Amino acid sequence: MCDARPISPRLDTLTSSAICFLFVLVAFYANHKTWFQDMGAVWVAAEFFADAMPERMYDAPDQFFQGRMPEGWTEMAFDAGAPNETSELVPYVYPPLWAALLAPVTKITSAQVFFTVSQTLQVAALVAAMLLVRRMYTMGRGLTVHVAISCALLYYSVPSALALFQNQPQIMVTFLTVWAFERYGSGRSVQAGALLATAAAVKLVPAAFVLIFLFDRDGRAVLSFLLTLVGFSLLSVAVAGWDVHLLFLDRVQEFERHIIAVAHNHSLSVVWAQLADWNTVSNALPLKEPMLLLKQPAALGLALKLVFLGSVLALLFQTSKMASDKRLAVRLLGVGIMLGLTAPVGWAHYYLLPILLLPFLFGFLPRTEALIWIGVQLTVLSVNALFIAQSYPSASALSVIAPIAFWFGLFVRLCGYSLASSRSLLHDGAVSASRGPRRSR
């Protein structure tokens, strides 16, 4: 029986391009609306800055994410086109620089034009990130296979569906992070450091990936990261002033002192809270319920930081002997997973990077096992399954535990693979040494 002919490069490109184009259209039109929560917060903050009221940018309810936004904020949002439901209004939690840069735009166009442009750019960035992942590692299959699997994951998985639905800035942050490590894998350390710093200037979380540069002792990447981040910081202080940055830092600290019990917060802190008070937290997890805000014990916050640092360092050590392409893939996936699990608030969209990297599994796991991991994301943990679970209290109670168990299990599997790979290399090295040239008598 003859083997099937491999698809021609031209047909491979055409087919994958068609899938990408279809994904862009569906992802845009299925999620397009006149108001996005997080981007709406960016717009209102920019309007406050444009109106010479930068101190109002970081207005928030007394309990931060829980409660009604202050009157001045809601009026500004309603004037910009926000729906009358105050649940659609959330505080601005990003560095002042981005509101300052957007401020002039608020005087020449509407919020809805801004949303349309930003949504278009972000959907395109998501597809670009998918293709950059392909450049980093081919997983031994054609482009069409990679694109088809990736698009299915990006459309049906909760992290991506949530990011697209909210037009979340995390999409651009993920794109910049993927681009940074695509450059890093190509030996462009300076570009990698600068791109990672740009991602960290939007959200602070990607700064944790600098551990990969430090462990590799890549001084050029680290220096580029630091200089670029300092440059963004100086620019931000220059255009927004120091007082606004103190407000920003205060909001970040307030953010980290809370546990937000909601179905799309996939942090270990929520599991801790749920195990401590099962009924109270479980009853807050259905999507129709308001989020439950709890104080996070200082000891828990410290413990999560130590878990992140210890687990990531263990993975970095275990992967040090692996082939360079697989090593970078495993490290990126592992660090991305642990960032979401141990973050004070591990929003589901924080796992967008691991979702993009799941096709990597075909490169180092048995095909059946890789299919199982991906299949679980497309079925049991899909956005459709999340909505179905809302009809069953016992199922909705698992809406946080289930994805956390998946990501934790995958991280453990990565560690197991890395350890086995390192031992295999050591064994092969010992065998080669024992078979070295014999000394003549």
Residue 52: pLDDT over 70 = yes
Q: Which pLDDT score is estimated for 410?
A: 97
One-character DSSP codes across 66-130: BSPPPHHHHHHHHHTT--S-GGG-----S-HHHHHHHGGGGGTS-HHHHHHHHHHHHHHHHHHHH
Q: Tell which residue, 168, 191, 153, 208, has the closest CA to residue 336.
A: 208
Largest CA-CA distance found in the chain, in angstroms, rounded: 93
Residue 333: pLDDT over 90 = yes
Give tens-digit pLDDT for 147-170.
999 999 999 999 999 999 999 999
Q: Tell which residue, 277, 263, 250, 268, has the closest CA to residue 338.
A: 268
Neighbours of 138 (CB within 10 A): 14
- Helices 298-318 and 401-434, packing angle to 10 deg: 30
Give the separation between CA 193 and CA 180, rounded to whole angstroms.
Answer: 7
Q: Which pLDDT score is estimated for 2?
A: 44
Q: Which pLDDT score is estimated for 441?
A: 40
Q: Provide the strand spans (E) within 326-419.
A: none
Tell which wins on pLDDT, 338 or 135: 338
Q: Which pLDDT score is estimated for 184?
A: 95
Q: What's the distance, Cα to Cα, between the start and end of the chain in Å?
A: 55
Q: Which pLDDT score is estimated for 3?
A: 45
Predicted TM-score (pTM) of the model is 0.92
Report whether 54 contacts 36 (CB < 8 A). Answer: no
Could you tell me the CA-to-CA distances from 262 to 193, 267, 341, 348, 397 in Å, in that order?
34, 10, 14, 10, 10
Could you tell me the CA-to-CA distances from 159 to 122, 163, 377, 398 in Å, in that order?
15, 6, 10, 16
Phi-psi region at 64: left, alpha or beta (left = phi > 0; alpha = psi -120 to 50): left
- Helices 37-50 and 71-79, packing angle to 10 deg: 100
Q: Which pLDDT score is estimated for 322?
A: 82
Q: Provide the strand spans (E) within 84-204.
A: none
Neighbours of 276 (CB within 10 A): 12
Give tens-digit pLDDT for 213-241.
999 999 999 999 999 999 999 999 999 99
Q: Which pLDDT score is estimated for 256?
A: 79
- Hey, which of 66-70, 335-339, 341-345 has the most confident mean pLDDT? 335-339
Could you tell me the CA-to-CA distances from 191 to 25, 198, 226, 381 in Å, in that order?
31, 11, 12, 36
Give tens-digit pLDDT for 398-408.
999 999 999 99
Least confident of 51-60, 64-73, 381-390: 64-73
Residue 15 banded pLDDT, cuts 50, 70, 90: very high
Beta-carbon contacts of 356 under 8 Å, excluding residues fewer than 6 positions away, are 129, 130, 133, 150, 153, 154, 174, 178
Give the separation between CA 73 and CA 54, rounded to whole angstroms.
Answer: 12
3-state secondary structure of 364: coil
Q: Which pLDDT score is estimated for 198?
A: 97
Give tens-digit pLDDT for 20-36.
999 999 999 999 998 99
Residue 73: pLDDT over 70 = yes
Report whether 196 contacts 203 (CB < 8 A). Answer: no
Give tens-digit pLDDT for 92-138.
989 999 999 999 999 999 999 999 999 999 999 999 999 999 988 86
Give me the percent of the chain exceeding a pLDDT of 70: 91
Q: Which pLDDT score is estimated for 1?
A: 41
Q: Which pLDDT score is estimated for 309?
A: 95
- Hey, which of 1-5, 24-28, 318-322 has the most confident mean pLDDT? 24-28
Q: Which pLDDT score is estimated for 138?
A: 65
Give the separation between CA 236 and CA 247, rounded to whole angstroms.
Answer: 13
Q: Which pLDDT score is estimated for 440?
A: 42
List residues bridging with 265 in a β-sheet.
Answer: 347
Phi-psi region at 142: left, alpha or beta (left = phi > 0; alpha = psi -120 to 50): beta
Residue 323: pLDDT over 80 = no
Give tens-digit pLDDT for 238-295.
999 999 999 898 888 877 788 888 899 999 999 999 999 999 999 889 888 878 888 8
Tell which wins on pLDDT, 370 or 364: 370
Give the separation between CA 374 and CA 372, rounded to whole angstroms.
Answer: 5
> Chain-wide mean pLDDT for the chain?
89
